[in-house]
A and B are shown apart, each in its own frame.
Chain A
Amino acid sequence: MRNELRIERATLGYGMDPVLQDVNISVQPGEILAIVGPNGVGKSTLVKGACGSLPLMNGEVMIGDQNLRELRPDRRARMVSVVSQAVNLPPAFCALDVVLMGRTPYLGWLEQESDRDRQIALEAMERTETIDLAARPIGELSGGEQQRVLIARALAQSTPVMLLDEPTAHLDLRHQDNLLKLVRDLAFVDNLAVMITLHDLNLVARFADRVVLLSNGRVRRIGVPAEILTPDELAEVYGVRIHVIPHPLDGKPLVLSG
Chain B
Amino acid sequence: MGDSRANALPESVKSQGVRRFLPWIWSGSALIVMLFVSVAVGPISIPLPDLGRMLLDLLPGLQLEADWSRTFATIVYQIRLPNTALMALAGMALGGSGAAYQGLFRNPLADPYIIGVASGAGLGAVLAMAANWPVSLLGMATVPLAAFIAALITVAIVYAIARVGRSTPVTTLILAGVAVSSFATAMTSLIMLLSTDELHRAVNWMVGGFALGGWEPVLASLPYLLIGLTVLALLGRQLNVLQFGDEQARQMGLDVERSKLIIVVAASLVAATAVAFSGIIAFVGLIVPHVVRLLWGPDYRRTLPLAILVGGSFLLAADVVARVILAPRELPVGVITAVVGAPFFLWLLYRTKGRGRIW
In the complex, the answer to whether B12 meets A48 with C-beta atoms within 8 Å is no
Distance in angstroms between the alpha carbons of A109 and B241 in the assembled complex: 12
- Residues of A near B26 (CB, < 8 A) are none
Contact of A135 with B248 at beta-carbon distance under 8 Å, contacts A92-B298, A104-B253 already known: no
- Residues of B near A2 (CB, < 8 A) are none
B2 at the interface (CB under 8 A from A): yes
Number of A residues near B (Cβ < 8 Å) is: 40
In the complex, the answer to whether A97 meets B240 with C-beta atoms within 8 Å is yes
A72 at the interface (CB under 8 A from B): yes
Residue of A nearest to B257 (CB): A73
Contact of A131 with B255 at beta-carbon distance under 8 Å, contacts A89-B244, A90-B298, A92-B359 already known: no
In the complex, the answer to whether A74 meets B253 with C-beta atoms within 8 Å is yes
- Residues of B near A76 (CB, < 8 A) are 253
B56 at the interface (CB under 8 A from A): no
In the complex, the answer to whether B251 meets A53 with C-beta atoms within 8 Å is yes
Distance in angstroms between the alpha carbons of A189 and B5 in the assembled complex: 22
A147 at the interface (CB under 8 A from B): no
In the complex, the answer to whether A97 meets B299 with C-beta atoms within 8 Å is yes
Which of B1-23 touch A at CB < 8 Å? 1-3, 5-6, 9-10, 12-13
- Residues of B near A94 (CB, < 8 A) are 12-13
- Residues of B near A123 (CB, < 8 A) are 1-2
In the complex, what's the smallest C-beta–C-beta distance from A169 to chain B, in angstroms? Answer: 16
- Residues of A near B240 (CB, < 8 A) are 93, 97, 101
B234 at the interface (CB under 8 A from A): yes
B327 at the interface (CB under 8 A from A): no
Distance in angstroms between the alpha carbons of A77 and B249 in the assembled complex: 10
Partner of B247, one of A53, A92, A119, A134: A53
A168 at the interface (CB under 8 A from B): no
Contact of A84 with B299 at beta-carbon distance under 8 Å, contacts A73-B255, A96-B13, A122-B6 already known: no
A157 at the interface (CB under 8 A from B): yes
Contact of A157 with B252 at beta-carbon distance under 8 Å, contacts A93-B299, A101-B240, A126-B2 already known: yes
In the complex, the answer to whether A88 meets B254 with C-beta atoms within 8 Å is no
- Residues of B near A118 (CB, < 8 A) are 6
Partner of A101, one of B1, B247, B250, B252: B252
A82 at the interface (CB under 8 A from B): yes
Q: Classify chain B's interface size.
A: 20 to 34
In the complex, the answer to whether A134 meets B13 with C-beta atoms within 8 Å is yes
- Residues of B near A53 (CB, < 8 A) are 247, 250-251
In the complex, the answer to whether B5 meets A131 with C-beta atoms within 8 Å is yes
In the complex, what's the smallest C-beta–C-beta distance from B130 to chain A, in angstroms? Answer: 40
In the complex, what's the smallest C-beta–C-beta distance from B152 to chain A, in angstroms? Answer: 22
- Residues of B near A131 (CB, < 8 A) are 5
B52 at the interface (CB under 8 A from A): no
In the complex, the answer to whether B243 meets A90 with C-beta atoms within 8 Å is yes
Residue of A nearest to B238 (CB): A109
In the complex, what's the smallest C-beta–C-beta distance from B273 to chain A, in angstroms? Answer: 23
Distance in angstroms between the alpha carbons of A81 and B6 in the assembled complex: 25
In the complex, what's the smallest C-beta–C-beta distance from A103 to chain B, in angstroms? Answer: 9
Distance in angstroms between the alpha carbons of A109 and B244 in the assembled complex: 18
- Residues of A near B298 (CB, < 8 A) are 90, 92-93
- Residues of A near B301 (CB, < 8 A) are 112
In the complex, what's the smallest C-beta–C-beta distance from A81 to chain B, in angstroms? Answer: 7
In the complex, the answer to whether B234 meets A110 with C-beta atoms within 8 Å is yes
In the complex, what's the smallest C-beta–C-beta distance from A90 to chain B, in angstroms? Answer: 4
A78 at the interface (CB under 8 A from B): yes
- Residues of B near A109 (CB, < 8 A) are 238
Contact of A105 with B253 at beta-carbon distance under 8 Å, contacts A97-B240, A123-B2, A126-B1 already known: yes
B200 at the interface (CB under 8 A from A): no
Contact of A157 with B253 at beta-carbon distance under 8 Å, contacts A89-B244, A90-B244 already known: yes
A253 at the interface (CB under 8 A from B): no
B297 at the interface (CB under 8 A from A): yes
In the complex, the answer to whether A88 meets B299 with C-beta atoms within 8 Å is no
Distance in angstroms between the alpha carbons of A130 and B334 in the assembled complex: 48
Which of A44-78 touch B at CB < 8 Å? 48, 51, 53, 72-78
A13 at the interface (CB under 8 A from B): no
A107 at the interface (CB under 8 A from B): yes
In the complex, the answer to whether B255 meets A72 with C-beta atoms within 8 Å is yes
Distance in angstroms between the alpha carbons of A105 and B254 in the assembled complex: 7
In the complex, what's the smallest C-beta–C-beta distance from B274 to chain A, in angstroms? Answer: 25
- Residues of B near A122 (CB, < 8 A) are 2, 5-6
In the complex, what's the smallest C-beta–C-beta distance from A170 to chain B, in angstroms? Answer: 17
Which of A92-142 touch B at CB < 8 Å? 92-94, 96-97, 101-102, 104-105, 107, 109-110, 112, 118-119, 122-123, 126, 131, 134-135
Residues of A within 8 A of B (CB): 48, 51, 53, 72-78, 81-82, 84, 88-94, 96-97, 101-102, 104-105, 107, 109-110, 112, 118-119, 122-123, 126, 131, 134-135, 153, 157
Residues of B within 8 A of A (CB): 1-3, 5-6, 9-10, 12-13, 106, 234, 237-238, 240-241, 243-245, 247-248, 250-256, 293, 297-299, 301, 359
Known: A77-B252, A93-B243, A101-B244. 15 other contacts (CB 8 A): A53-B247, A73-B256, A75-B253, A90-B244, A90-B359, A93-B240, A93-B299, A97-B240, A97-B299, A104-B241, A104-B254, A112-B237, A122-B2, A131-B5, A157-B252
